[in-house]
Amino acid sequence: MIEPVKIDEKGRMVLPKRIRVKAGIRSGSTLLVEVKGQGIVELRDSTALLDKLQRVAVKKLTGWKEEEHKEDRLLPKAAK
């Protein structure tokens, strides 16, 4: 979906409702802006990224037990 938007004199733009709905961007969302190239920017909903990160972390760390990781036990020895 491609929609033209204009940038005003203060650098602001309005994302059309169709774009916001399709992208799942709600009022009050914080977007991350990344420059991908000359004239190319990508907007990402930071809340969606944090939710995804949390799901991945929970999946990866389920069943993790600190006492099973000997690196933690070696740390005090390495500090001496």
CA angle 49, 54, 57 (to 5 degrees): 125
- Given a cut of 80, is residue 31 above it in pLDDT? yes
Output the pTM of the full model: 0.56
The residues near 49 (Cβ < 8 Å, ≥ 6 apart) are: 32
The one-letter amino acid code at 29 reads S
Question: Exposed/middle/buried for 20, CB within 10 Å: 0-12, 13-18, 19+?
Answer: middle
What pLDDT, in 10s, does the model give residues 4-25?
A: 999 999 999 999 999 999 998 9
- Given a cut of 90, is residue 77 above it in pLDDT? no
- Given a cut of 80, is residue 38 above it in pLDDT? yes
Contact 51, 41 (CB under 8 A): no
What pLDDT, in 10s, does the model give residues 50-63?
A: 888 888 888 888 87
